[in-house]
Amino acid sequence: MTKRVINFYAGPAALPLPALERAQAELLNFENTGMSVMEISHRAKEYDAVHEEAIALVKELLDVPPNFKVLLLQGGGNLQFAMLPMNILHSGRKADYIITGQWAEKAYKEAKIVAGEAARVIASTKEEGFRRLPRPEEIHVNPDAAYVHICSNNTIYGTQWKTFPDTGGIPLAADMSSDFMWRPFDVRPFGLIYAGAQKNLGPSGLVVALIREDFLEMCSEALPSMLQYKIHAKNNSLFNTPPCFSIYILRNVLAYNKSIGGLKVIEANNRKKGELLYGCIDRHPEFYRGYVSVKEDRSFMNVDFNLPSEELDAAFVAEAKKNGMVGLKGYRALGGIRVSMYNAVTVQQVETLVAFMEDFAARHA
């Protein structure tokens, strides 16, 4: 068997081994076509079955109500930062943005380019270095907002919404690129959810989006065709050639997620991983110095901490790599260590990391 490392990269990130092995087995002859799925027409019945299964699995795993459309889009989360306000903020509409990190701020900046003063910041923790999320009493939603935008998980700074903001019935719009499907949740309060696939769902090049039908009806038709949610919905995400291989791997990942018991099992695994890693950090608070200031805001997907010196940070990353663990160097703006524990990272792999951390602390503290 090919040697595999333990992959803690923040994205593109680890994928479930069974999903990859399925792709490996089918790579040269998919469904007895004599071709790879990458070579088949996106109009062929063999690919269409994959496309439909991927959409059906999204709906099944999240218990998506019938008044939502599932879209399979391109352009990454960055394009969605612009597509959302382009589609919704017309005819005098306005929107509220909650700024909890770099990606939430980028979404707001794109909305400002598109809609100017119609995009408003209603809460931010930037002055505190995004070390926590805004408390409910700090969030004041404007009653005329068409939506309230959030980023559900802060990949860089390591915070995560466990309870979504109460918007008084105004639709939420959420970038869930780094924690989509880490647990079951109620999609009904959301007008739009979008998630780049490259962290929890599959390879890069694909965005999975859920859009509520009443929100879809609000969308502009005075845009280039590729930027209209209505056109993608009408064409079942086949308006143009889709990223077929990325959608195929998405199907494999979601089918595997279903086979192991769905999102309840995945959530239990994620919470166990968080318990293990944060438990180690909390046992050595002077050595493993966590970045997030409010424990209840700590992410189950991305965990940031610093050691007492940059030299120890570098030694930690180097020794971990020698022990088969990669992707632990912190984000360039923060330094230190970042551990990304997306769904495909196993409890056993986090146990291996924690055992290394305990040994490293014993030798260097």
For domain 262-364, which architecture applies?
Answer: Alpha-Beta Complex (3.90)
What are phi and psi for residue 241, nearest 5 degrees?
-65, 120
Number of H helices, E strands in the chain: 10, 12
| Strand arrangement, sheet containing 337-340 | 289-290, 302-306, 337-340
Contact status, residue 206 vs residue 72, Cβ threshold 8 Å: yes
What pLDDT, on the 0 to 100 scale, is given for residue 365?
85
Query: What's the pTM value of the predicted model, to 2 decimals?
Result: 0.97
| Helical spans, DSSP H, in 206-346 | 213-217, 229-234, 244-259, 263-283, 310-322
What is the DSSP pairing of strand 337-340 with strand 302-306? antiparallel
pLDDT at 230: 98
Token pair recorded at residue 94:
């306005």
d(CA 358, CA 40): 50
**The predicted structure's pLDDT at residue 71:** 98
Strands 289-290, 302-306: pairing kind: antiparallel
What is the rounded CA–CA span in Å between residue 178 and residue 262? 18
CA dist 263 to 58, 122, 267, 298, 301, Å? 11, 32, 6, 20, 15
Ranges of residues in the chain with a pLDDT under 50 are none
- Rounded to whole angstroms, the Cα distance separating 50 from 224 reads 28
- Supply the pLDDT for residue 1: 59
Asked if residues 316 and 359 have their Cβ atoms less than 8 Å apart, the reply is no
What residues pair up with 173 in beta bridges, in sequence order?
149, 192
Question: Which pLDDT does position 2 carry in this prediction?
Answer: 75
Q: Annotated catalytic sites, by residue? A: 103, 175, 199
Domain ranges of the chain: 18-259, 262-364
Amino acid 229: pLDDT? 98
Maximum Cα–Cα distance for the chain, whole Å?
63
- 3-state class (DSSP) for residue 205: coil
Q: Distance of CA 288 to CAs 38, 90, 278, 280, 328, Å?
A: 45, 48, 10, 8, 14
- In the beta sheet, which residues pair with residue 190? 172
Give Cα 281 to chain centroid, integer Å: 24
What is the per-residue pLDDT across 270-318, written as a single tens digit (0 to 9) for each?
999 999 999 999 999 999 999 999 999 999 999 999 999 999 999 999 9
CB 261 within 8 A of CB 282: no
List, in order, residues 6 or more apart from 363 with CB less than 8 Å away: none
Alpha helices in 94-243 (DSSP H): 102-115, 213-217, 229-234
Domain 18-259, CATH number (from 2.60.40.420, 3.40.50.920, 3.40.640.10, 3.40.50.1980): 3.40.640.10
pLDDT of 7-27, one tens digit each? 999 999 999 999 999 999 999
Q: Which amino acid, residue 76?
A: G
Q: How far apart are CA 363 and CA 365, in angstroms?
A: 6
